[in-house]
A = this chain, B = another copy of it.
Amino acid sequence: MTTVDWGLGPGAEFDLIREMLAAATTAGREEGDGPLDAADPPGAGVQLGPGDDAALVGDGRMAVSTDLSVEGVHFRSEWITPREVGYRAVTAALSDMAAMAARPIGGLLSLAIDRERAPRWAPEIAAGAGAALGRHRGVLLGGDLSRTPDEAPIVIDVTVVGEADRPLRRSGSRPGDRLWVTGTLGGAAAAVEIWTSGQGDPAAPLRERFSHPEARVAEARWLAERDVARALIDLSDGLAADARHLAAAGGVRILLDPKLLQVDPNAEAALGAERALELALAGGEDYELAFTAAPGAVEEVVAEFRERFALALTRVGEVTSGAGLDIVGLGSAEWRAHGWNHFGDGR
């Protein structure tokens, strides 16, 4: 899932999600006298519940995850085409499959849209959804379609299911591990910044990072098959926030070195090195992978990875005992002063 800034203060969106989960669990237990036989205990068939990139259910380690895209929050119709809207929405969900090292089977597309735009937009959104799924050999499994009241934003919710033979979770990091990141960072956020600041359209490569992201499904499975990664997450909320998630899930501290980051060169060209680095750290929706691995484990395969996928693979930090995220050369006061404190408290 992708968490958007609510403007509710530090960590408020994560607090709200935790409150929702607690409320659902309590209410579910209170319904214990439901109409089914006690032969089916609550939670039967659940291998992994909320809190990771996907849930795992059934004997076959079926991974399932869902991702919302809201017009005016995640995208604007002036920025990208309806087909790109569909492609992005599905890629966000497929990226959660990558983050579990799962093979996508298919997706469900739910679309709430006004009557006026529906006839032209809905098939285009579906085409983009089908393209994103087909790129990873998945298919559209179904969905739902609803009109909205007039003037309401388009809302797309995509659920993907996949098979995770060797699921990789957010937990599992150990002190001494290294932190690695695929690809370059900051491009999608740079495109958004250029659009929202009224500078017109971003250059084509930056626009492409936002409009046509790639879920790193094959890359994640390749790493899982070689038993390289200990803990894995996809970069939807931004490296700083997602590294905090890894640290929290693993009960460890992560020390990130910004000098090691592969910042998107087009973001640097457009916005300058300093702002591009900030976006590489704090901007979301690059849909690259971040993972931890034992010292030396990645070094053995890094050349093969880069050649096979034509994609950077970069060591950007290390795992230590402790808790939370620290950034080399940046105290927590500076961190907060940079306005990045809305990404949560890392609990």
Contact = CB atoms under 8 A, between A and B. Distances in A.
Interface of A: 1-4, 6-8, 13, 16-17, 19-32, 34-36, 40-46, 49-51, 54-55, 57-60, 62, 64-74, 83, 103, 105-106, 108-112, 115, 118-119, 122-149, 151-153, 155, 157, 159, 161, 163, 214, 217-218, 309
Contact of A131 (B4, B28, B42, B73): B28
A217 B123 contact: no
A149 B153 contact: yes
Given A3-B145, A35-B218, A73-B148, A112 B155 contact: yes
Contacts of A28: 130-131, 133-134, 138-140
B122 A4 contact: no
Contact of A115 (B6, B51, B68, B163): B6
A142 B73 contact: no
A58 B134 contact: no
Contacts of A143: 1, 20, 50, 66
B149 A19 contact: no
A145 B15 CA distance: 12
A164 to B, nearest CB: 11
Given A115-B6, A119-B16, A130-B24, A144 B73 contact: no
Given A4-B147, A143-B66, A148-B153, A35 B108 contact: no
Nearest to A19: B123
A19 B124 CA distance: 10
A30 B108 contact: no
A23 B124 contact: yes
A49 B110 CA distance: 15
A305 to B, nearest CB: 13
A248 B66 CA distance: 31
B145 A20 contact: yes
Contact of A7 (B67, B115, B136): B115
Nearest to A66: B108
Contact of A141 (B4, B64, B133, B309): B64
A145 B50 contact: no
Given A20-B122, A26-B130, A110-B66, A36 B105 contact: no
Nearest to A3: B145
Given A27-B131, A217-B35, A137 B6 contact: no
Most buried by B among A2, A70, A142: A142
A118 B6 contact: yes
Contacts of A103: 36, 40, 45
B24 A127 contact: yes
Nearest to A40: B137
A73 B68 CA distance: 19
A216 to B, nearest CB: 9
Contacts of A159: 64, 66, 108, 157, 159
